[in-house]
């Protein structure tokens, strides 16, 4: 049972993204509808079940664990889960424990996260304009996030900013965001908006800003050098020679990044999605809960799921329709 997880295309699965809650204290317009219906508590994996689930994946070869949400730090008691995962870092079985957050709770938790072994965090931030920030997050407040970034850097956490590229919204802040990240020694990754979930009246096609166009705009002001490095995720990186900083591009639409995909996503209810852009999933909660004394059925279910991992997704805006769209919200799968 210790053989590594290999999918049908000979990709070793070494990266697990875990959504620990579907709840969030923001309502970002490209991620959630304003009036979300959240899952009943009994459907969520308990913190103890999350520990057992993640520990099983680590035993099967997962080396990188990224905690997501919703907003992971709004989950009650979540720091006990981070602290329990520390043992896998100390044993060497886990090479990295990290999280993606909106930054709202980092002022409270940054020191505790560092103490648990977290060394870097991704913070979602789409604008530096306080009014625009309130508009796009609906409920968020920019000063709270900035204080969270301050706290993270004081605690010793390496911060990367994730910015969703949104046409007509943050196009005019491209260079402002780049220079601000440079001034704070933070990496920056731009992400194309993805067609996931019903978000009410928001126009996916109207939001879509091709990163090829964004990159061309950057190249008019900076010298871009391609970097071969990978962080374990889907980003491709360049270095801006004039500033020395690293800029990432996550392009699920203009460039399908699936050929090297080494990751799967576990929801807070124990559903395993083998691909962010496909609906196929495996229920791991049942074998977990139905077999409290043995992990063997859970391991069998994980292996069966990995054997169904597809070659890639099929997001496509090119025909002026949101082809390849999946029905679940991004917050459900954890990004």
Distance (Å, whole) CA 212 – CA 214: 5
pLDDT single digits (tens) 282-327: 999 999 999 999 999 999 999 999 999 988 755 444 434 444 444 5
Residue 208 CA to its chain's centroid (Å): 19
Binding site per annotation, positions for GTP = 17, 66, 100, 160, 263-265
Q: What is the pLDDT of residue 322?
A: 47
Relative to beta strand 271-273, strand 263-266 is: antiparallel
- Please list, in sequence order, all residues whose beta carbon lies within 8 angstroms of the beta carbon of residue 176, skipping any fewer than 6 positions away: 128
Give helix 130-137 / helix 142-155 axis angle, nearest 10°: 100
Q: Does residue 117 sit in helix, strand or coil?
A: coil
Peptide bond into 70 cis (omega under 30): yes
Q: Does residue 129 sit in helix, strand or coil?
A: coil
Q: What is the pLDDT of residue 319?
A: 38
Say if CB 127 and CB 133 are below 8 A apart.
yes
Binding site per annotation, positions = 17, 24, 28, 30-31, 66, 70, 100, 124, 160, 194, 258, 261, 263-265, 275
DSSP 178-213: HHHHHHTT-EEEEEE---BS--TT--HHHHB--HHH
Q: What is the pLDDT of residue 2?
A: 64
Domain residue limits, the chain: 15-333
Binding site per annotation, positions for S-adenosyl-L-methionine = 30, 70, 124, 194
Binding site per annotation, positions for [4Fe-4S] cluster = 24, 28, 31, 258, 261, 275
Tell the CATH superfamily of the 15-333 domain.
Aldolase class I (3.20.20.70)
Q: Does residue 230 sit in helix, strand or coil?
A: coil
Q: What is the pLDDT of residue 193?
A: 82
Distance (Å, whole) CA 284 – CA 269: 9
Its pTM surpasses 0.85: yes
Nearest in space to 231 (alpha carbons), one of 157, 155, 122, 69? 122
Helix, strand, coil percentages (3-state) for the chain, rounded to 5, are 35, 20, 45
- Phi, psi torsion values for 296, nearest 5 degrees: -60, -45
Q: What is the pLDDT of residue 235?
A: 84
Nearest in space to 111 (alpha carbons), one of 138, 145, 150? 150
| pLDDT < 70 regions, the chain | 1-2, 194-206, 231-233, 252-257, 277, 313-335
Task: Pull the structure tokens for residue 230.
Answer: 């990978």
Q: What is the pLDDT of residue 180?
A: 98
In the DSSP assignment, the letter for residue 303 is: H
Q: Which residue has the tokens 């996260």?
A: 113
Relative to beta strand 224-227, strand 236-240 is: antiparallel
């Amino acid at each position: 049972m210790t053989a590594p997880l290999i999918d049908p295309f000979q990709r070793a699965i070494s990266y697990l993204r875990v959504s620990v809650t579907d709840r969030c204290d923001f309502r970002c317009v490209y991620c959630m509808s304003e009036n979300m219906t959240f899952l009943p508590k009994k459907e969520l994996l308990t913190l103890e079940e999350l520990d057992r689930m993640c520990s099983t994946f680590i035993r099967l070869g997962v080396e990188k664990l990224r905690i997501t949400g919703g907003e992971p730090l709004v989950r009650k008691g979540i720091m006990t889960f981070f602290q329990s995962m520390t043992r896998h870092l100390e044993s060497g079985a886990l090479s990295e424990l990290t999280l993606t957050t909106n930054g709202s709770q980092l002022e409270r938790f940054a020191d505790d996260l560092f103490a648990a072994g977290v060394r870097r965090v991704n913070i979602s931030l789409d604008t530096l304009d306080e009014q625009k920030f309130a508009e796009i997050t609906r409920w968020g407040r920019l000063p709270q996030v900035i204080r969270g970034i301050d706290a993270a850097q004081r605690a010793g956490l390496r911060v990367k900013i994730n910015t969703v590229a949104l046409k007509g919204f943050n196009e005019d802040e491209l260079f402002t965001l780049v220079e601000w990240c440079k001034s704070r020694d933070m990496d920056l990754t731009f992400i194309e908006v993805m067609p996931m979930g019903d978000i009410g009246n928001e126009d996916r096609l109207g939001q879509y800003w091709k990163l090829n166009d964004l990159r061309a705009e950057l190249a008019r002001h900076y010298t871009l050098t391609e970097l071969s490095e990978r962080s374990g995720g889907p980003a491709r990186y360049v270095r801006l020679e004039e500033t020395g900083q690293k800029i990432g591009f996550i392009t699920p639409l203009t460039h399908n990044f699936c050929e090297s995909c080494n990751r799967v996503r576990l929801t807070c209810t124990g559903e395993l999605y083998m691909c962010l852009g496909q609906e196929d999933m495996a229920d791991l909660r049942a074998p977990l809960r139905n077999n409290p004394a043995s992990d063997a059925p859970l391991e069998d279910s994980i292996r069966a799921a990995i054997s169904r991992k597809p070659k890639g997704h099929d997001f496509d805006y090119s025909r002026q329709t949101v082809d390849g769209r999946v029905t679940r919200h991004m917050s459900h799968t954890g990004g």
